[in-house]
Each structure stands twice: as structure tokens, then as C-alpha cells.
Structure 1
Amino acid sequence: MTARAAVRFAAVVLIWGTTWIVIKDQLAAVPPAWSVAYRFAAGGLALLLWCRVSGQPLRLPSEAVGFLALFALFQFVLNFNFLYRAELYVPSGIPAVAFALLMVPNAILARLFLDRPVSRSFVWGAALGVLGIGLLFLALWQTAPNRSGTALGLALTGAAVVSASVANVMQASPRAARAPALPALAWAMLMGAAMNALFAGLTAGPPAWDPRATYFGGVLFLGVVASALAFGLYFDLIRTLGPAEAAWTGVPIPILAMAISTAVEGYRWSLPAVLGAVLALAGLVTALGRPAARRQA
């Protein structure tokens, strides 16, 4: 990994490791779809402003519009609507741990559609990680006061992971490389904001807003920092390293997110939860291990 990639990797981990608890606060009074729409409107406008200041072309090739609209649907609409709703039912650290396994569907889809190889260590590590996530979810299930709500939260988390994975692999495709990266991301965010606003209007009614300063600050943080900045860095990692490799960020993120959830939300660790988290992270480290020949190469 180059120094540039390492800096981007660290920045993504620090930013996304803190977003989960901020998302939780966004759900206090505003329907999730409206919060998602505000987030990506802020992120898309921030990116467009940066592209204008840095002299990057804002006009996209006409053939890229349909591709970006489909990408926006999976990345900025389905993914985040599933995720925000999941946090209504489960502690914020749980989706963070589940997203640590994003590299698994990323690798599978990249193998199917981009012909990227999958190593044996990746398969074994992924299996260990899935077992760990299962134990973590089991611990949550055993202590859940509302098991039907918990089951719904876990199902929504799984749907969010799959949606994000489809978008990740789309970003690694040759078609994605035909459009300038940051302007394309900016327009995709704005498309996603428009789709979310339409969905919110149809399902939740007129626009809603929370007057608290923390809500406004959360929209700015999630839109400008966690979306415009972090997605720009993350998709750069996808294009330079590959979708499965870029998902390495999922290893340290849940450690930070679960620590915050423990301190802020009072999440209590049981023995199965501790064992599950350890197995999940150990499996991910195993999955990321490269054979000696590849390391030397």
C-alpha cells in the first residue's frame, strides 16, 4: 500500500468509525428518508463546490448519467435508508460490525462480474468472520427486550450491506472509470438526494426538520465530512486497490464504533458478544492476509 493510500485508509477509518453514533442522533425527530436526503444534498453541493474551485469539469458524458443514477440508487438511497432504519432497532455499533464484512460480498460480486480472484485464506477468514458476526447477533438477540424489532434491525442491516456492496463493485467497473471521479460522485450524491426526497415525500409526508443544533451539525458532518470527503477517499481506494481490498477499512472501524457505543449508549458486552467480536475481527485479518509470494511481488 502506498503512502497516499495509507493516509486515505486512516482518514476513512477515523471518519466512518464515528458516523454510527451521529446517525443515531439524526433519528430523534426526523423521518430517516429526510435525514438521508439532507445528508447527500449537503455532500453533493460540497463536492460540486470543490470541483468548481479546483477547476474540475462539472459536465458528465451523457452515457454516464444512467450508470450514475443506478449507482446512486444502491449507494445513497437503498443502502442508507436500510441503515438509518436499522439503527432504530439495534445499537449503533452492531451495523458497524456487520459492515466490517462488506469485503465478503464485495469479493464475491467482484469475482462474478469483474473476474477478480479470491484466495483460499480469504474464504477461510470470511467464514470465521461470519461465525463471529453470528455470535455477536446471537448475544444481541438473547438480551433484546423486543426480539421482533431486533430481528427487523438485523435484517435491515443485512440489506444495507448488500446494497453497499453492489455500489462498491460498480465503482470498480471499467464503466465507472469513464467519468471524472469527483464530479461523478457529486452528481450521484445529488441524484441520491433527489430520490430520497421523493421517497420521503411519498412515505413520510412533507419535509421535517429538527431545530436542535446537534441535528444541524450532524447533517453537515455526515454530508460534508462523512460523505463528500470520506466517499471520495474510499472510492479512490476502490479504484486503486480494488473493492475487496478497499473494504479492509472495515477491520478497525467496528472497534472504534463499538467503543463509542459502549461509552455513549451503554452497550453491555456479554461473553458471546466478546467472543463474536474477536472471531469477526480475527476472521477479517485472516481474510486480508496475502500469500508470501504475493507479498513479495
Structure 2
Amino acid sequence: MTRLPSWQLFAICALVWGTTWHAILYQIGHTPPDVGVALRFAVAGLAALVLCRWRGLPLRFSLRDHGLFALQGVFMYGVAYVCVYEAERFLPSGLVAVGYSASPLLTGLGAQMLFGVQVSRRFVWGGVLGVAGVALIFWPEFGKASSGASVGLGALFTVAAVLLSAVGALAASRNRSRGLPFWPALAFGMLYGAAASAVMALVQGHSFALPLVASWWIALLYLALAGSVLTFACYLTLQDRLGPGPSGAVGVMTPLLALVVSMMFENYRPDVLTAIGAAMAVAGNVLMLRLPVRKPLAPKIAGSSPEC
């Protein structure tokens, strides 16, 4: 991935993740959220391990390293995604997307508090503008979800997903700064995330029976290979270059593309508020990316950068 310019990495993440919100619906209609997440990241982790083996990358690590892989994976690929799937059971996907548009702001501020990364005012205002724009796009859905006991539960799952995902992103950034190799960290992290989700499913007595529905299998493969292995490889490479805050700006553009998918496949018709919100979100995104976070200098470790 190091051969690709940042804008291409950003575009891949936004384009693919912008369609995964819709693809998730094909899974939660047939399997419990924790089962769907466990299967998705089990397939993704195994695919990443095969890629590591094919490229001759080392796969033996100390218990301490595996603990760091698990910290990244359980939060970034496990419990955070279970919360996303659960949230989509109670709220329109647009509302969940609005929550995730706050992820760059939370991750950037977390990096400042934990790692001493300096966050500019431009970045903060860009994050606020982006969140406001995405919220404006989905304002009609807020009205539709204004009543009902399930709304509070869906909102709680959304907040939990954003916070847990931010923890995972910060853990991944710290793992890279410690010199842990990119692809093995991705592969083992996804397997640990799958294991955590599987434990949640077993504790609750959920079945792992696989549905005989073509759309479910197509969604699983798309979410695992394109929506997980490819996109997280691009995203974490982008995070190495720009820092954990600005790279999270993908979370602002993704809802905009999810909106396009809804227009194409779900008969959604935008209005004036949509156009204004889209303009605000794009402007906020530009502000966040224009001045990347200044990271403390760290020694370069040979062979630690991802390549493809």
C-alpha cells in the first residue's frame, strides 16, 4: 500500500466503506450481530494470514506482542463492530453513520491526550463542521426516530461503537510506533476481534448456523475481503502517514457515499438540506486534511511499513 498516494488510499476506504453500511443489512437479517461480526473477521483474518504466508512475512511473535494485537483487534474489529450491527437493528443506518462521522475528532483528541500529538484548531473546527454537515443530511431521519424505546438503545450502541473504534485506532497507531509489523498485526488483530465476537455470541447462546441465502454469502465475502482486509490495510497505512486524527476523516466522507447508495438502491430522494449538509461535510473534510497532525519523531524501523 505504500506505493499508493494518500488520496487513492482515502478514496478506496471511502468508496468501499460507503457501501458496507448497506451490505450489513443483508447479514443482520439472517444472523445475530455478534455471529455476523465473528464470521466476517474470521474470514478476513484468515485471508490476511494467507497473504502474510504468501509474502514470507514472520508469523511468530511473543505473548506480549499478541497481547498488543489483541488490544487492537478486540476493540477495532470486534466489540466496536458488534455495536455497529446492533445499532442498525434499532436505528436507520444514516443515524449510525452520523455517529461515526465524529470518529476523526475523537481519535485526534485521544491521540493528543495519550500520545502528545498536537491537534490544530483547523482540525477541530473541520471535525465539528463535518459532523454538523452529516447530521444535517440525516436530519429527517432524526425526526422519524424521535419516538420509541428502541431509539435510546440504538443511540447507546452507536456511541459505544464510536468510542470503542477510537480506542482500537489509537491502539493500532501505538502498535505501529512500536515497530510491530503491519500485515501480521492486521491478520492476528482481526482473528482476535472475531474470537471476542464469537465469545459474546456463545455466552448469549446464539447459533452459528449458516443461512442458505445467496445475498448473505455475497455480503459476507464482500464485507470480509473488501470491507475489512483491503480497506483496513489502506486506512492503517493512511493513519501511518497522516496520524490517527486526520486519517479518521474517512468517517466523514463515508456517510456521503452511503447516501448515494441509498439513492440508488433504497429509493432515497435528497432535498435542499442534503445539499447544504454535503457541502458542509466536504468543507470540514478539507479542513481536517489540509493541515495534518504533527507527530513526534520516531525512529524508523526497517521492514515495518506495509507494502503490496
| CA 130–225 in structure 1, closer or farther in 2 if over 3 Å, else same | closer
State the AA in 2 paired with 1:261: S
CA distance in 2, matches of 1:54, 1:225: 19
Is 2:1 the counterpart of 1:8?
no
Alignment-derived partner of residue 30 in structure 2? 29
Partner of 2:44: 43
CA–CA distance in 1 between the matches of 2:4 and 2:145? Answer: 44
Q: In structure 1, the residue corresponding to 2:42 is in which secondary structure?
A: helix
Instruction: Letter of the 1:217 partner, please give it.
Output: I
Partner in structure 2 of residue 294 of structure 1: none
The amino acid of 2:11's aligned partner reads A
Mean Cα displacement is larger for which, 116-125 or 35-44?
A: 116-125
Q: Deviations over 1:217-263 (max 9, x none)?
A: 11111112211221122111112221112123234322211111233
2:110 partner letter: L
Following superposition, which runs of at least 4 residues in structure 1 exceed 6 angstroms of deviation? Answer: none
Residue number in structure 1 paired with 2:296: none
**Farther-moved stretch of structure 1 (274-283 vs 254-263):** 274-283
Q: TM-score, normalised by structure 1?
A: 0.88
**CA distance, structure 2, for counterparts of residue 156 and residue 145 of structure 1:** 16
One-letter amino acid of the counterpart of residue 181, structure 1: F
Q: Describe the shift of the 1:11–1:279 C-alpha distance in structure 2 as closer, same or farther (beyond 3 A).
A: closer
Q: SS of the counterpart of 2:109?
A: helix
* Counterpart for residue 179 of structure 1: 180
What's the Cα RMSD here?
2.4
Contact kept in structure 2, 1:172 and 1:239, CA below 8 Å: yes
> Is the counterpart of residue 224 in structure 1 residue 228 in structure 2?
no
| Structure-1 residue corresponding to 2:280 | 279
Deviates further, 10-19 or 269-278: 269-278
SS at match of 2:204: helix
Q: Structure 2 stretches of 5 or more lacking a match?
A: 293-308
Are the structure 2 counterparts of residues 120 and 278 from structure 1 closer, same or farther at C-alpha, using a change threshold of 3 Å?
Answer: same
Given residue 239 of structure 2, which amino acid in structure 1 is its aligned partner?
I
Q: Is 1:77 the equivalent of 2:74?
A: no
2:111 is matched with which residue?
110
**Given residue 290 of structure 1, which amino acid in structure 2 is its aligned partner?**
L
Task: Confirm or deny: 8 A CA contact 1:171 1:239 kept in the other structure.
Answer: no
Sequence identity of aligned pairs in percent? 35
Contact 2:134 2:252 in 1 (8 A): no
Cα distance in 1 for partners of 2:29, 2:128 equals 36
Q: CA deviation at 1:63?
A: 1.7
What pairs with 1:122-161 in structure 2 (closer than 5 Å)? 122-136=123-137, 138-144=139-145, 146-161=147-162
CA contact under 8 A between 1:139 and 1:270: conserved in structure 2? no
Provide the residue aligned with 2:88 in structure 1.
Answer: 87
User: Residue type of the partner of 2:197?
Assistant: N
Instruction: Report the alpha carbon displacement of residue 137 of structure 1 after superposing the two structures with TM.
Output: 5.6
Any conservation in 1 of the 2:16–2:231 contact (CA below 8 Å)?
Answer: yes
| Residues 102-156 of structure 1 deviation map (CA, whole Å, 9 limit, x = unaligned) | 1100110010011111111122222333433454565322123754323332332
In structure 2, distance between residues paired with 1:13 and 1:102: 14
What TM-score do you get using the length of structure 2 for normalisation?
0.85
- For residues 145 and 6 of structure 1, what CA distance do their matches in structure 2 show? 38
d(CA) in 1 for partners of 2:148, 2:273: 17
Aligned residues: 291
